[in-house]
Chain A
């Protein structure tokens, strides 16, 4: 058939060049007495059984390259291509490329890995895909490559850890990534001298340059769609074998407040949700501190009715407000930690005993004010509005700093802490890139130059 004749511009050599830096590219020569053929496929996304049974075995059984070519061309699912772009699409879509008798035939060998992929646990969303990364690197690559079918998605692999020999894969979009960051990452990984490496969060600790780290500088996620979304933004993903989490870098502060279903919602709903999360962070940081400042130092700031209300609810409380706040906050942390470790079956007991009974009894006994209970619940709830766990834990610890400052100098302390917090965030860099600033204003001046880029 003339349609299946090899077009001039598509060659095995060409495909290989386009897919260079693909560590999972397999390139085999098939040699039989009667002739030779060449087999090219991407290992991570193709099924070795199909390739063995339907291509390699048949090639040697037939022992006749011309007939084998005819066999392949008529096999359901095999395709011939017109141009290089289509060839690339097929290769990335799980096709194996067979060159025999001067013909180039693409053979469908897609491995759709579904077993073992479970639902997301730590980052659940309402709508959208719910598959999570698994402990198997090949499966993870499959989950990602299936979502990101572009020849620009490069992959480099290496072994980390002297004993654990953990397989690691660095994924990036070659046309969008910041090569300076990539170079820095490679350098840091090459100079890594460790024995064991078991988790993505652990890796962050080893490759980050600063000694004191208050905020996470990389995203650790279990969602393949988040990985893909970030890859398309020019970020780098590191996948580790044996862990179900990917690491994304460099990140900015705002990345931690993006949930994957923001995009699914209507734009104004998405913005609203993001605003809610930022308000949640503000609440969880400030509320306890402001309570201390308002009750112990500056009750005149708030309306007199509210001040009286708080004073009334605190009438029986026998110690200063910051002791009350610290007591309740610590109690809440105990509850959170305990319900995390408890087996599913007795989990509800902890919440009932801790939350309902303890809260009721504490106010009835006059140990804490009623308003304090409300406040602690708000703090606890709003803290967990942050979609990514690492950030939510950082914020959880930082609120104590604000409480301390408020206990020391009142409202002044809270404001001083706020300024220090913001300035500290601004001084942070994630792999040399700014971590926190008015990114909105940066893109205003640059108009569309950033938004472009091929699809």
Chain B
């Protein structure tokens, strides 16, 4: 149980973070079509992906994805694969950072320049992502412990609000008999893809076992349903489509009567800023490990060369992020949606690769 909890934290982090990565946008666009059935299908698919992946990677205890692929594939294939996967993680962090910079400027500090904000985020993330994998996991757990109560408070407060329109929610429920569509499914499975970080963290968590997969299913489903229904309860069935960061507008509709901070928005903002910084740290740590893994030599590298490698990988990520700052809100949204699909395809591809490696290892053992 002791190590399995990290798998759960990774899952939970991604699951809560879906609000930033345009998942509610996609689902709410399809609210009169197949969004609700898509959520159900995504829950099943997501849990299956998660379980299969964890089972497969547990067959290679203590190995990162590169070590695993090296057992079955030639070097010429691995290099493009690694670059592809690390760019996937780079983009995951990039989208979180960019949408959070946008949120910060829109909701909290309109008079701070975007460059100053993004610079402070990047400095922090590069500093943290350089740490060793175990430290990143410890930090992630600690930060989640601090902010989870806040998020639970925000959700409870949102649901018990007398102005919450359950009628709108019920009305949307009447549209649940539509067939699911791929776009919504691909978006909703993002909630489950936290396990994907295991491609690197498997090195330091050799004793991971897939147990109680129903917890992941129930938890993921609950988060997705909340993501979907709560904004509808606040803005109505039609008004909900007028917001870009639906959840932040929702949080801004809630008032805390008895605290020195009156608007729920800021509690929520604090929690999500922390969460997204930690998540970008984790994602870029994985991306960096995948990228620098390519330059691994057989002999132990000196601390100094390792530092330079790490820093240049992270500088590359930061550079790409800054280059993407030119995107406007619409383009960023489109980009985020494309990423959601690409990520899902990547997951499927990774599982197939792992399966192939396992088959090779199995055949070798029995031959």
A interface, CB within 8 angstroms of B = 297-298, 300-304, 306, 405, 408-413, 415-416, 418-420, 422-424, 426-427, 434, 436-438, 441-442, 444-446
5 A-B pairs within 8 Å (CB atoms) are namely: A409-B117, A412-B109, A415-B270, A419-B143, A438-B145
- Per-residue CB contact flags for chain B residues 1-37 toward chain A (1 = under 8 Å, else 0) read 1100100000000000000000000000000000000
Residues of chain A lying within 8 A (CB to CB) of residue B104: 412
Q: If the complex has contacts A306-B260, A419-B277, A442-B2, are A412 and B141 also in contact, measured as CB distance less than 8 A?
A: no
Mark the stretch among B79-87, B120-128, B289-297, B346-354 that contacts chain A.
B120-128
Once A298-B109, A303-B260 are accepted as A-B contacts, the answer to whether A416 and B132 lie under 8 Å apart by CB is no
Query: Contacts A445-B1, A446-B2 hold; do A408 and B120 have CB atoms under 8 A apart?
Result: yes
Interfacial chain B residues near A303, Cβ < 8 Å: 260-262
Interface presence of B238 (CB below 8 A) = no
Chain B, residues 116-149, CB within 8 Å of chain A (1/0): the string is 1100110010011001101110110111011000
CB distance from B215 to the nearest CB of A (A): 15
**Given A420-B127, A427-B132, A409-B260 contact (CB < 8 Å):** no
Interface flag for B273 (CB, 8 Å):
yes
Interface of B is mostly: helix
Closest to B281 in A: A423
A416 & B135 in contact (Cβ 8 Å cutoff): no
Residues of A within 8 A of B331 (CB): none
Q: How large is the interface on B (under 10, 10 to 19, 20 to 34, 35 or more residues)?
A: 35 or more
Instruction: List A contacts of B355 (CB < 8 A).
Output: none
From A301, A423, A438, name the one whose CB has the most chain B CB atoms within 10 angstroms.
Answer: A423
**Docked pose: A57 CA to B263 CA in angstroms:** 85
- CB contact between B124 and one of A410, A416, A444 (< 8 Å): that residue: A416
**What 7 A-B pairs have minimum CB-CB distances, sorted nearest first?**
A437-B138, A427-B135, A426-B139, A426-B138, A445-B1, A427-B131, A445-B2
Is there contact, CB below 8 Å, between B260 and A302? Answer: yes
- Mark out the residues of chain B between 93 and 121 whose CB falls within 8 Å of any chain A CB in the assembled complex: 104, 108-109, 111-112, 116-117, 120-121
Q: Which residues of chain A come closer than 8 Å to B111, judged between CB atoms?
A: 297
Is residue B251 within 8 Å, beta carbon to beta carbon, of the partner chain?
no
CB pair A411–B108 under 8 Å, yes or no, is: yes
Give the residues in chain B near A416, CB-CB below 8 Å: 120-121, 124, 277
Instruction: Report the Cα distance A427→B140, complex, angstroms.
Output: 11
Contact B120 A413 (CB under 8 A): yes
Complex contact A419–B124 (CB within 8 A) = yes
Complexed CA–CA distance, A405 and B117 (Å): 11
Closest chain-B Cβ to A374's Cβ sits at a distance in Å of 15
- The minimal Cβ–Cβ distance linking B103 to chain A, given in whole angstroms, is 11
Q: Which A residues are CB-close (under 8 A) to B146? A: 422
Contact of B138 among A408, A409, A412, A438 (CB under 8 A): A438
In chain B, what residue has the closest Cβ to A439? B138
For B274, what are the chain A residues with a Cβ–Cβ distance below 8 Å?
415, 418-419
The smallest C-beta distance from B7 to any residue of chain A, in angstroms, reads 13
Residue in B2, B139, B263, B270 whose beta carbon sits within 8 Å of that of A422 in the complex: B139
Provide the residues of chain A in CB contact with B117, threshold 8 Å. 409, 412
Determine the distance from Cα of A422 to Cα of B139 in the docked complex, in whole angstroms: 7
The docked-state distance in angstroms from the alpha carbon of A164 to that of B265 is: 62
A174 to chain B, nearest CB (A): 26
A-chain residues with CB within 8 Å of residue B273 when the two chains form the complex? 412, 415
CA distance A165 to B127 in the complex (A): 42
Q: Is B245 an interface residue (CB 8 A)?
A: no
Q: Does B340 contact A (CB under 8 A)?
A: no
Instruction: Tell yes or no: B344 within 8 A of A by CB.
Output: no
Q: How far is the CB of A427 from chain B (nearest CB, A)?
A: 4
B278 and A419 contacting across the interface, CB-CB below 8 Å? yes
- Please report the C-alpha to C-alpha distance between residue A297 and residue B108 in the assembled complex, in whole angstroms: 9
Q: Given A298-B108, A427-B135, check contact A437 B270 (CB 8 Å).
A: no
Name A306's closest neighbour in chain B (CB-CB): B260
Q: Look across to chain A and name the residue whose beta carbon is closest to the beta carbon of B141.
A: A438
Residues of chain B with a CB closer than 8 A to A437's CB: 138, 141-142
With A410-B108, A419-B278 known, 15 other A-B pairs at CB within 8 A are A301-B263, A303-B261, A306-B260, A405-B120, A411-B266, A412-B108, A413-B120, A415-B270, A419-B124, A422-B143, A423-B127, A423-B143, A426-B142, A438-B141, A445-B1
* CB-based contact A441/B141 at 8 Å: yes
| Chain B: minimal CB distance from A424 (Å) | 8
Pairwise interchain contact B142-A436, C-beta atoms closer than 8 A = yes
Residue ID in chain B nearest A418 by CB atoms: B274
- Among A412, A436, A445, the one with the most B-chain Cβ atoms within 10 Å of its Cβ is A412
User: Across the interface, do A409 and B112 meet the contact criterion of CB distance under 8 Å?
Assistant: yes
Contacts of B136 in A (CB 8 A): 423, 426
A306: chain B residues within 8 A (beta carbon): 260
Name the residue in A302, A409, A444 with the highest tally of chain B Cβ atoms < 10 Å from its Cβ: A409
**B-chain residues with CB within 8 Å of residue A302 when the two chains form the complex:** 260-262
Given known A302-B260, A410-B109, contact A420–B138 (CB-CB < 8 A): no
Contact A301 B261 (CB under 8 A): yes
Determine which residue in A297, A303, A408, A416 has the highest number of CB atoms from chain B within 10 A of its CB, and name it: A416
Q: CA A412 – CA B1 in complex, angstroms?
A: 36
Interchain nearest-CB distance for B259 vs A (Å): 8
Cα A411 to Cα B265 in complex, Å, equals 13
* Chain B hits for A420, CB < 8 A: 124, 127-128
**Which residues on the A side are within 8 Å of B2 (C-beta)?**
441-442, 445-446
* Inter-chain contacts of B278 with A (CB < 8 A): 419, 423
Chain B contacts for A409, CB-based, 8 A: 109, 112, 116-117, 120
The distance in angstroms between the C-alpha atoms of A1 and B50, with both chains bound, is 77
CB distance from B72 to the nearest CB of A (A): 34
Least Cβ–Cβ distance between B328 and chain A, in angstroms: 22
Give chain B nearest CB distance to A302 CB in angstroms.
6
Chain B nearest Cβ from A291, distance in angstroms: 13
Chain B 51-93, CB-CB to A under 8 Å as 1, else 0, gives: 0000000000000000000000000000000000000000000
Residues of A within 8 A of B277 (CB): 415-416, 419
Give bound CA distance, A426 to B137, whole Å.
9
Q: Is the CB of B139 within 8 A of A301?
A: no
Q: Which of B112, B120, B121, B127 contacts A297 (CB 8 A)?
A: B112
The minimal Cβ–Cβ distance linking A445 to chain B, given in whole angstroms, is 4
Are A423 and B131 in contact, CB atoms less than 8 angstroms apart? yes
Could you tell me the distance in whole angstroms from the C-beta of B304 to the nearest C-beta in chain A? 13
Query: In the bound complex, how far is the Cα of B211 from the Cα of A445, in angstroms?
Result: 14
B1 contact set on A, CB distance < 8 A: 444-445
* B contact residues around A411 at 8 Å (CB): 108-109, 266, 270
- Could you tell me the distance between the alpha carbons of A410 and B111 in the complex, rounded to whole angstroms? 11
Across the interface, A434 reaches (CB within 8 A) one of B138, B263, B266, B270, namely B138
Q: How far is the CA of A398 from the CA of B143 in the complex (A)?
A: 19
- Nearest CB of chain A from residue B82's CB, rounded to whole Å: 25
* A-side contacts of B142, CB under 8 Å: 422, 426, 436-438
- Distance in Å: Cβ of A44 to nearest Cβ of chain B: 40
